[in-house]
Amino acid sequence: MKGKKTKIIGLLGCLLFNILIIQAQTKTITGIITDKEENQPLLGVNVLVKGTSTGTITDFDGNYSVKASVGDILVVSYIGMIEQEVPVGNQNIINVALEPDMNNLEEVIVIGYGTYKKADIVGAVSTVKTEEVTQAPVANLEEALQGRMAGVRITNFNNEPGGEVDILIRGGTSLGGNNAPLYVVDGFPLGTTEVGSTINPEDIETIQVLKDASSTAIYGARGANGVILITTKSGKEGKASIDYKHVSGMQGIVSGYPEMLNLAEFASYQYDVKPGAFTNREEFIANYLSDKEEVNWIDRIFRTALFRNNDISVSGGNSETKYRASLSFINQGGVIKNSNAKRVTGRINLAQKVGDKLELKLNASYSLKESEGANNGEPDRLFQRILETPPFVPDNYFGSIFDEDEDDITFKNPEVQLFAIKSVRRSKNLNVSANIIYELAKGLTAEVQLGNIETDTEQRTVSLPTEIGGVALATNGQVRIRNDKKRRWVNENLLRYNTVFNKKHNLTALLGNSQQSETVDRVTVTNRNFPILNESIINNIGLGTNALSPSSLYRKETLQSYFGRLDYNFKSKYYITATYRADGASQFAEGNKWAYFPSIAGSWRLSNEPFIKNISAISNMKLRVSFGNTGNLRINPYDSFAILSPNRFGINNEIVSAAVPVTLGNKGLKWETTRQLDIGFELGLYKNKIQLEADYYKKKTTDLLLDANISAHSGFGRVFENIGSIQNEGLEFSISTKNINNKNFSWTTNFNISFNRNKVLDLARGQESFFISRSLSGGGTENSLERIQAYIVKRGFPVGSMFGYVWDGIYNYDSFDRTGPNSYTVKQNIPVPLRGAQPGDIRYKDLNGDGIISSADRTVIGNSNPIHFGGIMNRFKYKNLELSAFFEWSYGNDVLNAARYQLEKLDSRRNQYTTVKNRFVPRVEDENGVLIDPGFTDTEFFGAGGNQDLFYSDRVIEDGSYLRLKTLNLSYSFSKELLQKINLSSASVFVGAQNLWTLTNYSGADPDANTDRAADRGLIKGVDRGAYPTSTTISAGIRIKY
């Protein structure tokens, strides 16, 4: 009781004293804040009286006016400038010249569950400034990140507008499909597709990529593939500002794809495949051409598409409330006719301080994405399908071509197909999260975060009877509606503590727990046999009279975690960080649910040692080492169980339910674990005008989760298993330099390069290797032979090794003895396949020397991993004009040009690349052996019409190295004087281009394509089944800030 009274009296006393002081000595201080280097007044600089909520911002001329008292300290801060503190003395005018923050070491870096100054970061973290990224209009964030960060490799599945990308951080750790990193947006974990479709790049403040174990182990079981942290923009103290950006542009496919045979050339090729009754090529061609009209399918299908992006945001706040709200509209036409995509995103970020100790944050975002267009069901090889269609208008509207003597060979008329299947996809996403942060005691804060994300995706597809080979004609139209509802809630509870004792020892501690639950609900309904056959049935599914059985799916997964981190540094010289996380996941069977992920790291800031401090050239020098474990839990719920799936069956013409086993189940499934060592070195020279960061890492992943091959006599060919181990080892360098920095002209360069080596160390059950089969045609009719063992996973070799025959030209006449008119037998000692060889047949190397070309002669023929990859960004600034050029490359990776395998196959009615004009054409003799046609034999290109090319070989493995001018931007900022008159704080106009130029020897449409999307795609990389060629985008826009 007594203590309480004293406290109150003391408090009152203080208050009174304060009021007296304030009343006595408050005065108005004015001044101008300028940029020291450019000697220009700065607009919007924060001037704050330290320890109070009193403050202001500067106007157009850099003027400010603030009330302060003698003894106060003014804090002057501005983004990109070094913050300055000026004590208030007797003067009434305080002018401050801010220095640009050249050494961005004071920059705040977000890492898992915390923020640190860059200088204090112990782990390997890459940062991307979004202003660089958002200069070019991008709908997809990840695509914009391509080449920006060392150690982060991004490849396109397809250059389809808005297509997905594949991100690998420091090589794949998992053999299973999913090597995607974990995304955390404002502390809330998001899935890859959620990030791609819901985050508006304009809303992003920073992107940090956590790469080493020290920084990722705090994410435990989800950290093995790296973590991408995205922080969205929040409001800043100061008056409200409105930011508006508009970009318009156009997109068209680059003519980088190989040329196809024209109709006359195609006819000549058809003569070689199947001459029919003709014995004379010219007659055949003339007859073939007589009833056909030539067509160029590419021109008929593709167009130059327009797009518009509009972004508007408003932000502001005071010392207690900060807010930012934004809205964005994207409207993008597809380069394929009859397709387009729209996206609306909105976001509100609010932060409210309640008293001194409590802070509330609320982030909410909503997105609506709607795309519609032809869904050909095979987006991976849509382009190839178009190319391979014979270059003439088909016999009938649908595109079928009949052949009475053979099977019907049916090509879909690609143009008709565009309208035969129409698919509308709507995806809604609502993400709300709230944080309560409370200061419990000095240095000790508690934070509770609750978040919820809901994604509803609806896909309505209507197939009209014009779809050839599909279901619709016989069924009189089909409508399928699929609804996916995904919901995830996350709760995280954190305690943070930091303290400094003896002014030398800095200690930060974090303790937390988290739980999350995710459910997926899916319903599909299909109806057929419609009385009306137009697109309207998409909304009238009930009109159909032949409903298929509906299907539903529900699954749930939960994750529970406990974690902690301890950071200690001595005099900002010696740093040590330890983290620990325990994760429990529902996907694993009893006994295997929990896994533990520790890490430890240390760093030494040499530049804070006296012996380095004296070297004036060195402004920063740091050495860091980390070691730790992370995991991967990406298996599906219930993978440890054998599952029976409902099916139907007819007994006595009555449809009955049937339960069919669909998975084997594996109760022994456990976590995949990655152990990683990282050694990093950072160096800043000449006031950080040159900054270098180098990292060496070595990762070993054990208990790999893989949908692994098992003996089929188990009942299934595959099961999810923990098999073997792989290793990734690599080097990363990034260098940024400020080459020239004058008042009127500046030039900066950012450069990064990464090397990763990947190796399979061990496989399950002592296996030496296993194959990954793929249908190279992609269509993969189950009866085709084209399901080829194209890739191998082999101990000691990298993942993504191609496997096959070694091409050795063709069997030309010199390999044969002539045994009669048009009759040849292969000479002794020339290796041939068991079935023999004819002149013009493709030839492979007999590697084992047994005289027979057989499957034993296959070997590793390619490696889809690059030797190195990276990017280089150059920015030039001349007065108000700024030019930036960003190049991105990959070197030494092989690509399996599966499209070429198909389009240089010479065995069918498919149209082919013009390269086949060089094909072998055999000599023809009459029955007396007199040469009547010399053919064309002086070539290495095999002849037409055979099944000689059943195998694939290194003939279609190509070097996929490329250097691409990814973005080129030119912008002009209007001068402040001019803008002042119209009350704007800044305005700029810009023009930009993407994918303007590519240097490559690759013969296909795009070297940077991996069209394989199967679940085990992690094992087969660099497959190009005829991807869309890269789209070139040209755009122009304006940005205005009020």
Partner 1 sequence: MKSVLKLLILLGVLNSCQNDFLDEDLDVIITPENFYKTEKEAEVGIFGLYHQLSRKDLYGWYLSMSVDMGTDIAFYGGKFGDTFDIFSNYKNISSSIGNLPRTWNEAYQTIHAANLIIENLPKNATFSQVKQDRFLAEARFVRAVSYLVLSRLYGEVPLVKGVLTLDELGIPRADLAELYQFMIEDLNFAKEHIPWLSELQQGGRASKNAVLGVLTRVYLTMAGAPLNDASKWALAASTSKELIDTDYHDLHENYNQVFLNARDDVYDFTESIWEIEYTKGEPDFGSRIGTFNGIKSFKGPNGEKASDVGGGSGLVRATANIRKIYGEDGVGYNPDIVDSRYHWNCPAYRFDGTQVPRMNPDGTVKTSLRDFIVSSYRKEISNGIYTPNQTGVNAIALRYADVLLMYAEAENEVNGAGRNALANESLAKIRRRAFKTYEVKWALEGAVTNEDDGFNFDYSGLSQEDFRNLIRDERARELPGEGLRRWDLLRWRLLYGNVSDLIGEEPEGEAWGNIQPHNVLYPIPQREIDLNPLLTQNPGY
* H-assigned helices in 79-203: 130-133, 141-145, 192-198
Residue span 697-716 as binding mask against partner 1, x where in contact by CB under 8 A, dash where not: ------------xxxxxxxx
Asked if 990 and 1036 count as a contact pair (C-beta separation under 8 A), the reply is yes
Which one of residues 17, 397, 570, 641 is an interface residue with partner 1 (CB under 8 A)? 641
Residue span 902-921 as binding mask against partner 1, x where in contact by CB under 8 A, dash where not: -----x--------------
Residue span 811-840 as binding mask against partner 1, x where in contact by CB under 8 A, dash where not: -----------------------xx-----
Which one of residues 198, 375, 427, 666 is an interface residue with partner 1 (CB under 8 A)? 666
Taking contact as CB under 8 A, which single stretch among the options 97-105, 572-580, 751-759, 763-771 is the one that binds partner 1? 763-771
5-44 positions binding partner 1, by CB under 8 A: none
Closest approach of partner 1 to the CB of residue 791, in Å: 14
Closest approach of partner 1 to the CB of residue 1029, in Å: 30
> Does 471 sit near partner 1 (CB under 8 A)?
yes
- 744 vs 781 by CB, closer to partner 1: 781
| Residue 901 vs residues 534, 776, 844: alpha-carbon distances, Å | 38, 7, 15
> Does 848 sit near partner 1 (CB under 8 A)?
no
> Does 645 sit near partner 1 (CB under 8 A)?
yes
Query: Tokens in use for 782?
Result: 């189950």
- 187 vs 1029 by CB, closer to partner 1: 187
Which one of residues 765, 817, 850, 879 is an interface residue with partner 1 (CB under 8 A)? 765
φ, ψ of residue 891 to 5 degrees: the values are -130, 130
Closest approach of partner 1 to the CB of residue 884, in Å: 47
- 617 vs 834 by CB, closer to partner 1: 834
Residue span 565-604 as binding mask against partner 1, x where in contact by CB under 8 A, dash where not: -------------------xxxx-----x-----------
- 504 vs 667 by CB, closer to partner 1: 667
Cβ-based neighbours of 450, under 8 Å, separated by 6 or more: 433, 434, 489, 490, 491
918-977 positions binding partner 1, by CB under 8 A: 947, 950
Residue span 475-504 as binding mask against partner 1, x where in contact by CB under 8 A, dash where not: xx--------------x-x-x---------
φ, ψ of residue 273 to 5 degrees: the values are -75, -45
Asked if 799 and 793 count as a contact pair (C-beta separation under 8 A), the reply is yes
531-560 positions binding partner 1, by CB under 8 A: 546, 548, 554-556, 558, 560
- 317 vs 922 by CB, closer to partner 1: 922
- 117 vs 667 by CB, closer to partner 1: 667
> Does 784 sit near partner 1 (CB under 8 A)?
yes
Residue 862 pairs in a beta bridge with 802
| Residue 316 vs residues 33, 240, 351: alpha-carbon distances, Å | 21, 4, 11
Helix axes 281-290, 263-273, angle to 10 degrees: 120
**CA torsion, ordered 294, 299, 300, 304, to nearest 10 deg:** -170
Distance in angstroms (rounded) separating the CA atoms of residues 332 and 536: 24
431-470 positions binding partner 1, by CB under 8 A: 438, 440-441, 444, 446, 448, 469
- 503 vs 713 by CB, closer to partner 1: 713
- 263 vs 719 by CB, closer to partner 1: 719
In 3D, which of 65, 180, 1024, 941 has the Cα closest to residue 632? 180
The DSSP element (H or E) to which 900 belongs, if any, is: helix 898-903
Asked if 731 and 708 count as a contact pair (C-beta separation under 8 A), the reply is no
Closest approach of partner 1 to the CB of residue 463, in Å: 11
- 132 vs 639 by CB, closer to partner 1: 639
The bridge status of strand 962-973 relative to strand 986-1000 is antiparallel
Closest approach of partner 1 to the CB of residue 108, in Å: 26
Which one of residues 652, 819, 829, 928 is an interface residue with partner 1 (CB under 8 A)? 652
Distance in angstroms (rounded) separating the CA atoms of residues 482 and 523: 6
Taking contact as CB under 8 A, which single stretch among the options 236-244, 743-751, 768-776, 961-969 is the one that binds partner 1? 768-776
Distance in angstroms (rounded) separating the CA atoms of residues 220 and 223: 5
> Does 636 sit near partner 1 (CB under 8 A)?
no
238-277 positions binding partner 1, by CB under 8 A: 277
Closest approach of partner 1 to the CB of residue 276, in Å: 9
Half-sphere CA count of 330, side-chain side, radius 13 A: 27
In 3D, which of 728, 729, 735 has the Cα closest to residue 681? 735
φ, ψ of residue 761 to 5 degrees: the values are -95, -35
Considering only CA atoms, give the Rg of the chain.
Answer: 33
Q: Supply the DSSP symbol for 1017.
A: G
> Does 650 sit near partner 1 (CB under 8 A)?
yes
Closest approach of partner 1 to the CB of residue 514, in Å: 9
277-316 positions binding partner 1, by CB under 8 A: 277
Asked if 237 and 262 count as a contact pair (C-beta separation under 8 A), the reply is no
Closest approach of partner 1 to the CB of residue 375, in Å: 18
- 641 vs 972 by CB, closer to partner 1: 641
Closest approach of partner 1 to the CB of residue 135, in Å: 42
Kindly provide the b/e burial profile for residues 782-799, where b requires at least 16 CB atoms within 10 angstroms of the residue's own CB: eeeebebebbbbbeebbb
Instruction: Count the residues of the shown chain that bind partner 1, applying the rule CB under 8 A.
Output: 99
Closest approach of partner 1 to the CB of residue 700, in Å: 23
Which one of residues 614, 616, 744, 855 is an interface residue with partner 1 (CB under 8 A)? 855
- 17 vs 397 by CB, closer to partner 1: 397
322-361 positions binding partner 1, by CB under 8 A: none
Cβ-based neighbours of 113, under 8 Å, separated by 6 or more: 187, 218, 492, 494, 510, 512, 563, 565
**CA torsion, ordered 153, 156, 162, 164, to nearest 10 deg:** -80
Distance in angstroms (rounded) separating the CA atoms of residues 148 and 488: 31
Which one of residues 542, 717, 821, 934 is an interface residue with partner 1 (CB under 8 A)? 717
φ, ψ of residue 768 to 5 degrees: the values are -80, -35
In 3D, which of 133, 160, 162 has the Cα closest to residue 145? 133
- 613 vs 835 by CB, closer to partner 1: 835
- 215 vs 709 by CB, closer to partner 1: 709
- 382 vs 468 by CB, closer to partner 1: 468
- 406 vs 814 by CB, closer to partner 1: 406
Closest approach of partner 1 to the CB of residue 327, in Å: 33
361-420 positions binding partner 1, by CB under 8 A: 398, 400, 402, 404-408
Which one of residues 226, 665, 798, 1037 is an interface residue with partner 1 (CB under 8 A)? 665
Which one of residues 193, 318, 338, 513 is an interface residue with partner 1 (CB under 8 A)? 513
DSSP 243-280: EEEEEEEEEEE-TTSPPB--HHHHHHHHHHH--TT---
- Burial bucket for residue 10 (CB in 10 Å: 0-12, 13-18, 19+): exposed
The bridge status of strand 881-891 relative to strand 421-441 is unpaired
> Does 612 sit near partner 1 (CB under 8 A)?
no
Closest approach of partner 1 to the CB of residue 684, in Å: 41
> Does 653 sit near partner 1 (CB under 8 A)?
yes
